[in-house]
Amino acid sequence: VISDHYEFELAVNAHRMQSEFYLMFSGAGKPIGGHKIGTAIYDYYLIHTVTAGEGLFVCNDAPYPCREGDTFCIFPGVPFSYQADKSNPWEYSWAGFSGSGSGELLRLIGVSAERPVASHTTEQAFQYYGMTRRALLENEYPSLTDLECSAYLKLMLIALGKSNPAHIADGAGDRSETERLVKYAARVIKTQYANPIAIESLADSIGYHRVYFSKIFTDYYGKSPKQYLKAVRMEQAELLLMSTALSIEQVAESVGYGDPLYFSKQFQKWSGMPPSEYRRKKRQG
DNA sequence: ATTAAACACCGCCATG
DNA sequence: GGCATGGCGGTGTTTA
């Protein structure tokens, strides 16, 4: 609980990805026995989920026999080929996608060029392929189609990750529970700075005493929680002063200071000049 | 790892 | 009334 004025529940996203990600196309089909594609190199990601039959996927010269329930992934810049079995050719759905966040997304669910196949793909994951295609074909609200089909593909990848939990890169690379909690606290500050934040409540919410929390936070970030919060608020205040016409009072309110006079004093300590002067100087170059 | 105690300072308000 | 000053209780940090 952060405020005395009301009770609420808060969930903060501590795993934000700075990523662009979009679906290019999606399809489903059944090649004839022995049909082969490649060896070739593409410049996008192409993921296939086998729903029946069998075939051979080759990535970087390494063979990966695939059958129902297997999902294999082609990576941009990595040579591959794949071929349907002669007597029992596979059927599969596929989706091509691109964007800077794609690699990280796949790594999160344990898929990489060194480990390009995930097994035990669920029926649910498979259904998302169909929903993706339907969104593209029906195109009911064209301006929403990109959002929708990319969302379905993400849901499909999530389902894929959940069906191979052992390979999920969990903890997002954190080396310890402490690190995870400290990062969570920093994320709370970064997203909630516009509201009153008591360091003690924040410490409580992750199960630490304020004294110990202050120590581990400072060890990790090089500044105390309070300093960190103030830096977030002041940097945002500078941005607002420069890029908006908000009054000083409104800027103060926007960065979590209820008392504009007090905000001005703090700002002066921070930047060496009062907010109004800061705005004037930055505006005239 | 945790906390009590001491210390520092913040945030707010009364006062002039 | 607007604004500086001082002071107080509580919050945050440091020490042990």
Judge residue A207's burial from the number of C-beta atoms within 10 Å of its C-beta, 0-12 exposed, 13-18 middle, 19 or more buried: exposed
CB of A57 within 7 Å of some strand B atom: no
Through-space separation of residue A192 CA and nucleotide B12 C1' in angstroms: 22
The residue type at A208: Y
pLDDT of A3 above 50: no
What is residue A47's predicted lDDT score, i.e. its pLDDT? 94
Q: Give the C-alpha separation, A168 to A183, whole Å.
A: 20
Q: Which nucleotide's C1' atom has the smallest distance to the CA of A218?
A: C13
CB of A204 within 7 Å of some strand C atom: no
What is residue A200's predicted lDDT score, i.e. its pLDDT? 92
Answer for the pair A56, A82: CB distance below 8 angstroms, yes or no.
yes
Query: Which positions of chain B lie under 7 Å from any protein Cβ?
Result: 1-5, 10-13
What is residue A90's predicted lDDT score, i.e. its pLDDT? 93
CB of A225 within 7 Å of some strand C atom: yes
Choice among A165-169, A238-242, A275-279 with the minimum mean pLDDT: A165-169
CB of A257 within 7 Å of some strand B atom: yes
* Across A109-127, average pLDDT: 86
Q: Give the C-alpha separation, A188 to A166, whole Å.
A: 29
Judge residue A191's burial from the number of C-beta atoms within 10 Å of its C-beta, 0-12 exposed, 13-18 middle, 19 or more buried: middle
Answer for the pair A50, A65: CB distance below 8 angstroms, yes or no.
no
Which are the contacts of A126, defined by CB distance < 8 A and separation ≥ 6? A49, A51, A93
Confidence of residue A143 (pLDDT cuts 50, 70, 90): confident
For the record, the structure tokens of A244 come out as 């908006």
Confidence of residue A283 (pLDDT cuts 50, 70, 90): confident
Residues 226-285 of A with CB under 7 A from strand C: 226-227
Choice among A106-110, A182-186, A195-199, A250-254 with the minimum mean pLDDT: A106-110
Residue in A93, A80, A25 with CA at minimum distance from that of residue A53: A93
The protein residue nearest nucleotide B11, judged by CA to C1', is A262
Q: Give the C-alpha separation, A6 to A162, whole Å.
A: 37
CB of A264 within 7 Å of some strand B atom: no
pLDDT of A76 above 50: yes
Confidence of residue A105 (pLDDT cuts 50, 70, 90): confident
Through-space separation of residue A189 CA and nucleotide B3 C1' in angstroms: 25
Answer for the pair A191, A185: CB distance below 8 angstroms, yes or no.
no
pLDDT of A173 above 90: no
Mean pLDDT over each residue of chain A, to the nearest integer: 87
CB of A192 within 7 Å of some strand C atom: no
Answer for the pair A54, A90: CB distance below 8 angstroms, yes or no.
yes
pLDDT of A243 above 80: yes
pLDDT tens per residue across span A9-30: 777 776 666 678 888 888 888 8
Confidence of residue A1 (pLDDT cuts 50, 70, 90): very low
Bridge partners (DSSP) listed for residue A65: A56
pTM of the full predicted structure? 0.71
Q: Which nucleotide's C1' atom has the smallest distance to the CA of A176?
A: B1
pLDDT of A189 above 80: yes
* Across A178-191, average pLDDT: 91
The residue type at A191: T
pLDDT of A170 above 80: no
For the record, the structure tokens of A197 come out as 């934040």
What is residue A221's predicted lDDT score, i.e. its pLDDT? 93
What is residue A219's predicted lDDT score, i.e. its pLDDT? 93
Q: What angle do CA A69, A70, A72 make, to 5 degrees?
A: 150
What is residue A2's predicted lDDT score, i.e. its pLDDT? 43
